[in-house]
Amino acid sequence: MLCRWLLGLRAQGGGHPPAASPATLAFARETLGDGPMGWAVETAVWMTQEVIRQVPAYGGGRMPFETLRRSVEASVLAALAGLFLDARPSPELVPVEAVEGNAELVRRGVPLDLVLRGVRIGHACLHQRLMDVIDAEPEPARTSESHRVSEVLFSYADAHASRMAEEYIAERDRWQASTEAARHRIVDDIVAGRRIDQGMAERTLEYELTRYHLAFVVTADELDTPAEVLRRFAAEAARAMDGRSVLTVQAGPSDVWGWTALLSSPTPRLDIKVPTGLRLAVGPVAYGVAGFRRSHLGAKDAQEFLAETRLCRYADIRVRSLLHAGGERARWFAEEMLGGLADGDARVAELRETLRVYLASGRSPQRAGEVLHVSRNTVGYRVKRAEELLGHPLPDDLLELRLALEIARTAH
């Protein structure tokens, strides 16, 4: 029997559960055993990291990483089984996980040349790892197996690349012609801040943009979660937010972007239990086309914190998200916090600066007056006017207000 050394493969570290489908794992376990399968899982993690390092377009967060890892792991297991069984490489041997991952890259807009580059990098990585193992074998097995494995792997790489190119072109044609793709393109344009034909956009999306919007992201813990499960929960979440209509767009194999239209601007009370296996990130309420984008970006910020919880609202993490944001989002935060005190008028700016110094001085009118070279009574008057423009008394917790004042000071 060829490749007896292959049955001795073992993982060195572990820590990552298998990502391939149950059918792929069952075949690998039956054909190769647990040792080589564990080695393949571990090797696939390293290969995935290496592909993303060399081709960053493959990455973009946890789910793109897991989608690619699943594809790579299934491909490694298929290659090991082919080597062990001495099967002739052919495009039909490319696992379904690789085909599905390829389709996801199409929908994400990753160009075909980068897809094929990733395939080549992956096979080169696998060849390197197997050569390291074979080099430890005694002669004459080392030389004969080195030649055989190199020949089989490079033939498999050609077959893999051929299948990926064929599937990519077919999926791209289907995707570009689909209604979902048209909806996705409009959403992408809005989120990117590009100009759109609003009437055409509303007809295609079947969603009114001249409304208050509350955006959200539904994400699944498992890549195998059916898209219908995500969309169904998105509809439930929209109802729980008292939404009048709902728009959903499949953003990835385990992510759905959603928007629901509201009658007014106050954020509704979200009374919903997030099912096990799903997570929900919710943005702020905002109006019109700009608000559609603004609320979505807030939901995306909240999504970054879903590893900690099943339900995350932008309002709960907006200060933390500022540590990773700037520019436009920082300005939005300051406007939300300051209300009328965010106005660019010189008189309002004076009130804003007085309030900033007053808070920095421990709420001491005397010390603030000394810094500003005005009387303490003037400080008191300006602080009172600032509170009126804020629309509420100064809060006990001043962190967010002081951040907003510093952002406004920098912006103006």
User: Does residue 3 surpass a pLDDT of 70?
Assistant: no
Encode pLDDT of 389-403 as tens digits. 988 888 888 888 888
Average pLDDT over residues 5-26: 88
Per-residue pLDDT band for 96 (boundaries 50, 70, 90) equals: very high
Tell me what percent of the residues of the chain surpass a pLDDT of 70. Answer: 96
pLDDT at 14: 66
Tell me what percent of the residues of the chain surpass a pLDDT of 90. Answer: 59
Average pLDDT over residues 245-249: 93
User: Does residue 325 surpass a pLDDT of 70?
Assistant: no
> How many whole angstroms separate alpha carbon 370 and alpha carbon 372?
6
pLDDT at 207: 95
> How many whole angstroms separate alpha carbon 24 and alpha carbon 82?
13
Q: Which residue has the higher pLDDT, 4 or 276?
A: 276
User: Does residue 40 surpass a pLDDT of 80?
Assistant: yes
Average pLDDT over residues 238-261: 91
**92-96, 99-103, 317-321, 367-371: least confident range:** 317-321
Backbone angles phi, psi at 24, to 5 degrees: -65, -45
User: Does residue 63 surpass a pLDDT of 90?
Assistant: no
Per-residue pLDDT band for 137 (boundaries 50, 70, 90) equals: confident
Per-residue pLDDT band for 411 (boundaries 50, 70, 90) equals: low
pLDDT at 1: 43
> How many whole angstroms separate alpha carbon 90 and alpha carbon 170?
19
Q: Which residue has the higher pLDDT, 3 or 324?
A: 3
**134-148, 192-206, 269-283: least confident range:** 134-148
Average pLDDT over residues 253-275: 86
User: Does residue 410 surpass a pLDDT of 70?
Assistant: no
- Global pTM reads 0.65
Nearest to 353 by CA among 385, 391, 399: 385
pLDDT at 254: 87
Encode pLDDT of 203-242 as tens digits. 999 999 999 999 999 999 988 888 889 999 999 999 988 8
pLDDT at 176: 79
pLDDT at 324: 55
User: Does residue 381 surpass a pLDDT of 70?
Assistant: yes
**12-16, 91-95, 259-263: least confident range:** 12-16
Q: Which residue has the higher pLDDT, 356 or 141?
A: 356
Q: Which residue has the higher pLDDT, 43 or 323?
A: 43
**49-63, 193-207, 311-325, 328-342: least confident range:** 311-325
Burial of 44 per CB tally in 10 Å (0-12, 13-18, 19+): buried
Average pLDDT over residues 111-129: 94
Answer whether 245's CB lies under 8 Å from 237's CB.
no
Mean per-residue pLDDT of the chain? 89
pLDDT at 35: 92
pLDDT at 345: 84
User: Does residue 157 surpass a pLDDT of 70?
Assistant: yes
